[in-house]
Amino acid sequence: MGISIKIITEGDPLKLIKSAECIITGGGSLENLLTGIDGYKSVLQAALLARIPFIGWNEGALMVCPSYVVPGPITGYPYCLGATYHQLCLSYY
């Protein structure tokens, strides 16, 4: 199929983001996701604002939103990447 997936923690994040044709982020702890991108948050945000395709699910999808709404604020991380004007709201029942 010609698809090559690279894990950002197994290479140089800045180079991987700048050369990406698509960015995929899974779920998990949004606080861990946001703290994990601290060193390259602005580069990731710029790539997303430049319209690099993005696929995210669960908390990974929230990363591109303006803020984190549910189930409550994260200590020290009230805002996400803000790469979209649309706000997603996860609800777990």
Q: What is the DSSP string of 26-85?
A: --S-HHHHHHHTGGGHHHHHHHHHTT--EEE-THHHHTTSSB--SS-PPTT--B----SS
Positive/negative CA dihedral, 33, 90, 57, 65: negative
Angle made by CA atoms 50, 11, 14, in degrees to the nearest 5: 30
- Please give the model's pTM, rounded to 2 decimal places: 0.79
User: So where are the chain's domains?
Assistant: 12-93
Residue 93 in this model has a pLDDT that exceeds 60: no
The two tokens of residue 50 are 């430049």
Q: Name the architecture of domain 12-93.
A: 3-Layer(aba) Sandwich (3.40)
Residue 68 in this model has a pLDDT that exceeds 90: no
Distance CA 76, CA 62 (A): 16
State mean pLDDT over 64-93.
71
The rounded mean pLDDT for the chain is 84
**Between 47 and 34, where is the model more confident?**
47
